[in-house]
Amino acid sequence: MKQKHWLWLMLVAGLVMSMPSAQAADPKELAATVCIACHGPDGNSLAPTFPKIAGQQPGYIEKQLNEFLSGKRKNDVMATFLDKFNKGDVPGLAALYAAQKPAPGTVEDAKLAAAGKKLFDEGNPDSGVPGCMGCHLEKGEGNDRYPRLAGQHQAYTIQQIADFKSGKRSNDKAKVMRSVAERMTEDEMKAVAEYIAGLQ
C-alpha cells in the first residue's frame, strides 16, 4: 500500500513539473480579475493616470507588457501585478484589449486643444519638435509600428511625455520618443495632450 502512495505522489509531482511555466491563462479571466482594477472592465480606465488600453495597437500592447515583465519599462503601480501574468499570457491579453472599443476622451479647454493641434500636425520648427502625426498618424490612431494616442487621458499623456523627456521611460527603440520629448516644453505637453484627448 505504502509503495502505491509513493508511486502516485511521484506521478503527480512529475505532471506538475512538466507543465510549462509560461502556460497561458484565459485572458478574459485575467482581465476580469486582475487588470480590471485599474484599466476598467473594457480597457477604458476611469482614473486619468491609468492608461486606456482599449483599441490600442496589439503589437504595442505586447511590447509594453513584455517590457514591464523584463524590467525594460518600469512602473511602481504595474510592478505590483507582474506576478499575476507571464510571457505566455501576453499575446492573448494584447488581442483581447486591441479588440475592445476605445471610449472617447473629453476636451476641457478648446483653446488649448487648438494650440495642441498645431503642434500635433506641424510640430515646432523653432525647437525641432516634429509633428506627432508623422508617426502616430493624422487621427492619432497609430499602426503596427506606433501606438494609438487618440482619446487618451490628458494626465497619462503628459506623464509619459515628461517621463520620456527625463529618461524615466526609456523603452523606445532608438530613442525615437525621447528625442521628440526632450525638445518639448511643459506648455506644449499640456496642449498636445488636450488635443489628443479629443481625437477619435
Q: Which chain residues interact with ligand HEC by CB under 6 A?
A: 30, 34-35, 37-39, 50-51, 53, 61, 63-65, 75, 77-78, 81, 84-85, 93, 119, 129-130, 132, 134-136, 146-147, 149, 157, 159-161, 171-172, 176-177, 180, 192
Q: How far apart are CB 158 and ligand HEC at their closest, in Å?
A: 8
Q: Are the C-beta atoms of 5 and 55 separated by less than 8 Å?
A: no
Using the minimum distance from each CB to ligand HEC, give the nearer residue, 85 or 113.
85
Q: Are the C-beta atoms of 129 and 119 separated by less than 8 Å?
A: yes
Sign, CA torsion 75/76/78/79: positive
Unique residue bearing C-alpha cell 488581442: 95
Which amino acid type is present at position 24?
A
Using the minimum distance from each CB to ligand HEC, give the nearer residue, 13 or 79.
79
Q: Which of 51, 10, 85 is nearest to 154 (CA)?
A: 51
Unique residue bearing C-alpha cell 480597457: 43
Using the minimum distance from each CB to ligand HEC, give the nearer residue, 17 or 83.
83
Q: How far apart are CB 16 and ligand HEC at their closest, in Å?
A: 24
CA distance 160 to 135: 16
Q: How far apart are CB 194 and ligand HEC at their closest, in Å?
A: 11
Q: How far apart are CB 111 and ligand HEC at their closest, in Å?
A: 18
At how many degrees (to 10) do helices 186-197 and 154-166 cross? Answer: 140
Using the minimum distance from each CB to ligand HEC, give the nearer residue, 13 or 75.
75
Using the minimum distance from each CB to ligand HEC, give the nearer residue, 5 or 173.
173
Using the minimum distance from each CB to ligand HEC, give the nearer residue, 113 or 161.
161
Q: How far apart are CB 139 and ligand HEC at their closest, in Å?
A: 13
Kindly state the cell numbers that stand for 114: 487648438
CA distance 43 to 114: 28
Q: How far apart are CB 96 and ligand HEC at their closest, in Å?
A: 8
Distance of CA 3 to the CA centre of its chain: 53
